[in-house]
Amino acid sequence: MPAGSLLRGDIGYYKLSWSKIPNMDRFPKQSAFNLGDVVTDVAKTLTEAEKAKLEEQNKRMVTPFQALKLEQDARKHWDLFYKRNETRFFKDRHWTTREFSELLSGEATTGNGSFTVAEDPQVAESTQKNTKTMLEVGCGVGNLIFPLIEDGHRDYFIYACDLSPRAVELVCKHNLYDERYMKAFPCDITSDDVFRTLATDSLDIVTLIFVLSAIHPEKFHATLLSIFRLLKPGGVVLFRDYGLYDMAQLRFKPGHKIAENFYMRQDGTRSYYFAETEVSELFQKAGFTIEVNSYIHRRTINPKEKIDVPRIFVQGKFKKPEADENETSEGNPERCNHPELRDGCGVMKNGQGTRWWKRHRRCIIRPRKN
């Protein structure tokens, strides 16, 4: 197959002509990392057959009772998933440093690329405090963090959490697991669980790779608000998830659809399929600025197994704004009229060494610098 054919209408997305694609500059776009990648903010154009498949899904929906049960048993279903599959299901993600340069090693590595850990506990603690910190949300069995360590990218302290205690147990049993430079813990990121382990404003990087789609849509906002609180000003979320009309979405049969773009798999786990604009709005509503965000249309090819399928992902980088000195002030009444840290926020703190500012619909109280 000629390389150019991967970029033509025969992949079923659209006839590619960059000059004719609308709104290409609405948000900054990713680079194309693989031959044949199409990076755009344009959703896939469905064929009549594909539209019929989506209509067929609506004929038998998951009942409200079933949907509630799936939500209540989410941890159980993921625990059973890892009991059956252990470390065999997901492939190691060696691609992450290629597509997210923020994960590359910096100055904190030794000449051979290994992480330097001081023998003196006080020195080790000081080193950890001065090291970048990263959290992988939904770490599974470590298919992202352990490839990073194998490739020598150890210039940050890694936290890893997962809803499934069994998955975390498998991470801790890995031969590369070392609590001198990582800590894995079970956690429901949709609740306040994570703050039992991590403090606010403590992380430089959060990875959210094929995780938000497994969460109920009603909890997207709360999840992103928690991540926002965890990040330091200037910290970044590295995001990838399933895109709208991905091949996997079109394959669902009647009886699997829970709600619009939200589905139940055979094993009881769930998956949501995102529009690019929806992802942007979710992160902006939580207070983030958009660094890059786009669909990535890509073919998954495995000649050995004769697999050649089109995939659609949404991939982006979202930043917690830096504290802006121009948006600070001092005042007297202590008040905050934001029920969900949204529009209309007007937090003020009086004199005693405090200042206030608001940015992207978020209020942050910080000690005043002398």
Q: How far is CA 115 from the centre of its chain?
A: 25
Task: Please say whether the beta carbons of 171 and 139 come within 8 A.
Answer: yes
Return the pLDDT at 337: 39
**Mind listing the pLDDT tens digit for each residue in 63-111?**
999 999 999 999 999 899 888 876 655 565 656 767 777 887 653 333 3
**Mind listing the pLDDT tens digit for each residue in 222-244?**
999 999 999 999 999 999 999 99
Q: Average pLDDT of 142-159?
A: 83
Task: Please say whether the beta carbons of 88 and 151 come within 8 A.
Answer: no
Q: Highest-confidence range of 59-73, 105-119, 147-161, 324-338, by mean pLDDT?
A: 59-73
pLDDT band at 21 (very low <50, low <70, confident <90, very high): very low
**Mind listing the pLDDT tens digit for each residue in 182-219?**
999 999 999 999 999 999 999 999 999 999 999 999 99
* Residue found by looking up tokens 């709600």 in the block: 259
Task: Please say whether the beta carbons of 89 and 95 come within 8 A.
Answer: no
Question: For residue 90, what are its two tokens?
Answer: 């997901």
Q: Average pLDDT of 248-255?
A: 95
Q: Average pLDDT of 127-154?
A: 81
Alpha helices in 24-158 (DSSP H): 48-57, 64-72, 74-85, 96-99, 121-129, 145-150
pTM of the complete model? 0.73
**Better-predicted residue by pLDDT, 2 or 287:** 287
Question: For residue 321, what are its two tokens?
Answer: 């704004």
- Sequence spans of domains, the chain: 38-104+130-320
Residue 68 CB burial class (10 angstroms; 0-12, 13-18, ≥19): exposed
Topology classification of domain 38-104+130-320? Rossmann fold (3.40.50)
**Mind listing the pLDDT tens digit for each residue in 279-335?**
999 999 999 999 999 999 988 776 776 777 889 999 999 999 987 633 433 333 333
Alpha helices in the chain (DSSP H): 48-57, 64-72, 74-85, 96-99, 121-129, 145-150, 165-173, 220-230, 247-250, 276-285
Mean pLDDT score across all residues of the chain: 75
Q: How far is CA 87 from the centre of its chain?
A: 21
Cα 223 to Cα 65: distance, rounded to the nearest angstrom: 24
Residue 246 CB neighbours (<10 A): 23
DSSP 203: E
